[in-house]
Structure 1
């Protein structure tokens, strides 16, 4: 049962990513006129159809490390192994990497403490930790202490993105995914996530301005916003909002990821984050087989899912 959840999450993430790779940086206006309706190749990065980006690579690196237990140094080392081209690249080389992630990986390679390698400034709030955090869910699935969950999410995010905003976005995503993992309806899970976060924030001394940035998700209902109110840039808050919006306003895996990709801009990452959620929620059988068949390294991903499920 858990193997199926892990497999559907990993494939859901990677397929959403691969759908977005060819149109990364295209505008929403362009995609309204030329919508993505199926998996295709080349485009922005000149990659064959089914190629996933750094989003999936780093998520798989995290999952690979978790197969041996939780070790922050090992996770960080895997990121360096990926950057050098040896681990979880789709075709043996890195073709896409965010600036903040690149700086962090170079810091790791110099021997710096992993959770001090990510940027701490307000300008360091790209979506590079949110896009890869999903496998941590399966390590945390039986953890009852919300403080422990927050601490682990903070550590793993901080390898590349250490500012509170990035950490908290990852935390919100993780809490929502934990609710989805309980086989709850996605709207019930959303309300539960809001309640858990409200309880968690009681008595905390976090900067209220920072917490207020998440009001669309935590105090309102993100699904009720118009598409024009949803942005899809590489900024972590936009990615979180867009992914939740697409997931809650769709009725299938396919609809979720196509909606995400066709928002434009950071198409692969919105597709990956929303796709991970939708894959886990709707299950592997709901993901179009033609997309799974086109995906790069499908057997390796299945093997990774099995090894992680055996560890969990």
Structure 2
């Protein structure tokens, strides 16, 4: 394992956290308070063995794999279709979890709708299905200027989630991830990340959406009480919850378990948290006993090496 690879740390950070949340997805916060998740286990909601990751990681890996060959929205969209139809980048050769917006968009892709026109754009298309898979784009941070990077983020979100709110959430998340890749500490990465994002989202086209991000842009998300943090599938809530968990903890283990134990959309809240926590704390600080249980661990390690090499040669 490449112990110093921030690429592996991010991918494994998403995946391990996702797998921690899979067995308790849709459980209530009260359930998690009375019976908190403390380590990797299996079965539960989807009756899957320990170390099984969901669509969050599958689509993250599809994106990362596509990036190894260059940047192509058509290729990314095709990889999503292969996952949906042919079980590509699934943990055990079967698809067991998919969000409604993602399923509808992939059906449109299969009918020949271009990638930038496939994702839903209405108010009800603001789930977390693009945020959960967007992290690999942060690894372009040395190859593109910031505005170009965010444009790619918006386009990749739009394959399944084209509403401006989803695009902005993904942009803010990637902006913070880039600061972490540049060795900022969590609070500094958050503050600098939202400042960099604010320069993009101050444009008039985003004016109607900015109020939805008021708590994130306040720079003070970590001070909110837990009862004000929602952990359902709405993209704003997932972004807020992930930042809150990351900023209020001091290790990978603590961050992702806090996310899982919020209940609700446990796998996605944890995966989004885990991407940031993985990058910051490093793969060596992801508990080895959790990594050892991850389905297709060696394939993920190899994917990270390929992506790392591709980013150096881009």
> What TM-score do you get using the length of structure 2 for normalisation?
0.96
Q: Does structure 2 conserve the Cα–Cα contact (< 8 Å) formed by 1:2 and 1:309?
A: no
Residue of structure 2 equivalent to 1:31: 32
Q: Secondary structure at the match of 2:292?
A: helix
Residue of structure 2 equivalent to 1:169: 169
Q: Secondary structure at the match of 2:40?
A: coil
Deviation at 1:49, TM superposition (A): 0.3
Distance in 1 (alpha carbons) for counterparts of 2:30 and 2:87: 38
Distance in 1 (alpha carbons) for counterparts of 2:230 and 2:250: 21
Q: Deviations over 1:223-271 (max 9, x none)?
A: 0100011000000000000000000000000000000000000000001
Q: Deviations over 1:127-148 (max 9, x none)?
A: 000000001111244322x321
Residue 57 (str. 1) matches residue 52 (str. 2):
no
Deviation at 1:85, TM superposition (A): 3.0
Distance in 1 (alpha carbons) for counterparts of 2:121 and 2:258: 32
**What RMSD in Å do the two structures reach over aligned CA positions?**
1.3
Deviation at 1:2, TM superposition (A): 10
Q: Does structure 2 conserve the Cα–Cα contact (< 8 Å) formed by 1:23 and 1:44?
A: yes
Residue 195 (str. 1) matches residue 195 (str. 2):
yes
1:11-30 matches, cutoff 5 A = 11-30=12-31
Residue of structure 1 equivalent to 2:238: 239
Q: Does structure 2 conserve the Cα–Cα contact (< 8 Å) formed by 1:141 and 1:178?
A: no
Deviation at 1:215, TM superposition (A): 0.8
Residue 221 (str. 1) matches residue 220 (str. 2):
yes
> What TM-score do you get using the length of structure 1 for normalisation?
0.97
Deviation at 1:170, TM superposition (A): 0.2
Distance in 1 (alpha carbons) for counterparts of 2:308 and 2:238: 28
Residue of structure 2 equivalent to 1:296: 295
Deviation at 1:86, TM superposition (A): 3.4
Q: Secondary structure at the match of 1:296?
A: coil
Q: Deviations over 1:67-104 (max 9, x none)?
A: 00000000000000001133100010100000000001
Q: Secondary structure at the match of 2:289?
A: helix
Deviation at 1:151, TM superposition (A): 1.2
Q: 1:132 to 1:2 in 2, by over 3 A?
A: farther
Residue of structure 1 equivalent to 2:210: 211
Query: Which 4+ stretches in 1 moved above 6 angstroms?
Result: none
Q: Secondary structure at the match of 1:84?
A: helix
List gaps (5 residues or longer) in structure 2. Answer: none
Residue of structure 1 equivalent to 2:148: 148
List gaps (5 residues or longer) in structure 1. Answer: none
The number of equivalent residue pairs is 310
Distance in 2 (alpha carbons) for counterparts of 1:112 and 1:3: 40
Distance in 2 (alpha carbons) for counterparts of 1:43 and 1:201: 41
